[in-house]
Amino acid sequence: MADRRQVLNENETLDELILGDMKIIQAVHGYRFSLDSVLLAHFPELTGVSHIIDLGTGSGVIPLLLAVRAPDLCITGIEIQSAMVERAKRSIHLNGLEHRIEIIQSDIKEIDKTLAGGSAELVLSNPPFWKKGEGYLSSNMEEAVARHELNLNLEELVDRGAYLLVERGKMVIIQRAERLEEAMETFRRHKLFLKRLRMIHSFEGSKATLFLLEGIKNRRGRLSILAPFIIYQKPGEYSEEIKRLYGGK
């Protein structure tokens, strides 16, 4: 593995992913991944999947986590911000995964210029949670673009995800609980029939804050609503399920 001093630029940190003894390069000031990326990477079932596309890959954390889950997967991460693309590529190199993970700089809305339709069995995205005018807009543009729909909205994201999927391929997103109805309707408009839904709660008995949603392309079926995902068993202590995701570490 490369020496830390050789892979880090000024104002960057080298952080432990814990899983697979991997490390990731992140900006000190800018977008830094959070637990929602970990939850998303562990939600989809990977049986029969050989190629995954992560839309809005940011630092490349989701491809790295997926690489640990299944050693035979090929993963493509799409990101529009050049600094994040460059950082993600260095993280992939640092972990010796260039043969399995490719990071492409591209505008998701124009992904048809880069990738053919029907390229993947699974498309993932941890998209911006906030619409324009909602929430606190960071003065740091890297973080603002990652958190707010400044360049890409949910409709455009789902449209491009459906384009990239093979027939009966699956798309999975994580999003704010308040946007569940919007997300379900958007999936249906693009013939992504709802397959699995899991609500995410900070504590048992608290309101849901996020959800994980899976749709399958051009195949109707019944929606399976899974047991709630609880993050904390008490303040400052993760739930047993979170601990299991990290192998008990």
pLDDT at residue 148 tops 50: yes
Q: How far apart are CA 2 and CA 95, in angstroms?
A: 9
The least confident of 101-115, 133-147, 227-241 is 133-147
The overall pTM is greater than 0.85: yes
Q: Give the pairing of strands 120-125 and 165-176.
A: parallel
pLDDT band at 6 (very low <50, low <70, confident <90, very high): low
| Other Cβ atoms within 10 Å of 155 Cβ, number | 14
Q: How far apart are CA 140 and CA 162, in angstroms?
A: 31
Contact between residue 52 and residue 75 where contact means Cβ atoms under 8 Å apart? yes
pLDDT band at 129 (very low <50, low <70, confident <90, very high): confident
pLDDT at residue 142 tops 90: no
Contact between residue 196 and residue 167 where contact means Cβ atoms under 8 Å apart? no
Domain boundaries, the chain: 4-245
Report the CATH superfamily, name and number, of domain 4-245: Vaccinia Virus protein VP39 (3.40.50.150)
pLDDT band at 1 (very low <50, low <70, confident <90, very high): very low
From the DSSP assignment, how many helices (H) and strands (E) are in the chain?
Answer: 8, 12
Residues in the chain, overall count: 249
Task: Give the three-class secondary structure for 80.
Answer: coil
Contact between residue 217 and residue 167 where contact means Cβ atoms under 8 Å apart? yes
Instruction: Render pLDDT for 33-60 as a digit per residue (tens, 0 to 9).
Output: 999 999 999 999 999 999 999 999 999 9
Q: Pick the closest to residue 188 from 215, 156, 223, 210 (CA basis).
A: 215
At 153, list the tokens: 């909205």
Q: How far apart are CA 58 and CA 78, in angstroms?
A: 8
